Amino acid sequence: NAGVTQTPKFRVLKTGQSMTLLCAQDMNHEYMYWYRQDPGMGLRLIHYSVGEGTTAKGEVPDGYNVSRLKKQNFLLGLESAAPSQTSVYFCASTLRGVSNEQFFGPGTRLTVL
Amino acid sequence: TQLLEQSPQFLSIQEGENLTVYCNSSSVFSSLQWYRQEPGEGPVLLVTVVTGGEVKKLKRLTFQFGDARKDSSLHITAAQPGDTGLYLCAGIAGGTSYGKLTFGQGTILTVHP
């Protein structure tokens, strides 16, 4: 039982490049979330999903897209990376209707030059 | 948009001292959570408080939810170096929130031996 895993752990991009961050969970959780964490700003919700095939915008969705084709996977895409997207990205999941405890992955540190 | 103001942002104390971290909002939350985050890892849930006025204890940590469910506090008694880390409060709105969390900015706690 690996919990929530994220790939990759680190990445450096040049402005304008694209990439996809992968999140996988093996706990059969319905709800999944993508956050970004910046110094002094806590975690901010980018996008979330309440089930396979569904996605919705969070607090800071601009510049990001997501997809949830399988229940266990939630992908975060950056189509044209900008320096403002330099951050640490966390994926989380939770079991619908239970304690609302979110289980977080270890994070992806992204630097956009 | 619901906001959570967390204070202080930084706390540096000696082993054995007591401390309190505050989390305040002008909005009502259906529940409030406290997470702890170690460097290079994702946040891990410490506690969830649900009822106004609720007090929960976890060893040397005491969590309180305000009567109006707009604020919360975390008190640590006789802090130890192992308590060092980032503490985050997070609120869950009422209604159909899909478990979405609104995070405070976080408190970086350093306990010196």
Q: For A38-63, how does the pLDDT look when each residue is reduced to its tens digit (9 = 90+)?
A: 988 889 999 999 999 999 999 999 99
**Residue A8, preceding peptide bond in cis (omega within 30° of 0):** yes
Position A95 scores a pLDDT of: 87
Q: Which residues of B touch A94 (CB under 8 A)?
A: 99
At A99 the pLDDT is: 65
Read off the amino acid at residue B82. G
Q: Which of chain A's residues have a Cβ under 8 Å away from the Cβ of B40?
A: 106-107
| Calpha distance A53→A70 (Å, rounded) | 7
Look at strands B31-37 and B85-92 and give their pairing: antiparallel
Of A29, A21, A22, A20, nearest in space to A1 by CA: A29
Residue B16 contacts residue B83 (beta carbons within 8 Å): no
Q: Is the pLDDT score of A11 beyond 80?
A: yes
Contact B106 A92 (CB under 8 A): no
In this predicted structure, the answer to whether residue B97 has a pLDDT above a threshold of 80 is: no
Question: What amino acid occupies position A54?
Answer: T
Residue A6 has pLDDT above 70, yes or no: yes
Sort out which chain B residues have CB atoms less than 8 A from A58's CB and list them: 100
Half-sphere exposure of B30 (CA within 13 A, CB side): 12
- B39-66 average pLDDT score: 95
- Whether B100 has its CB under 8 Å from any CB of chain A: the answer is yes
Identity at B102, one-letter amino acid code: T
> Residue B8, preceding bond cis, omega within 30 degrees?
yes
What pLDDT is stored for residue B3 in this prediction?
86
pLDDT tops 90 at residue B60: yes
- Average pLDDT taken over every residue of chain A: 94
Instruction: For residues A90-102, give the mean pLDDT.
Output: 84
Q: Which has the closest alpha carbon to B90: B76, B100, B80?
A: B100
Residue A2: band (very low, low, confident or very high) from pLDDT cuts 50, 70, 90: confident
Give the list of residues 6+ apart from residue B63 with CB closer than 8 angstroms, or none. B34, B46, B47, B49, B55, B56, B57, B72, B73, B74, B75
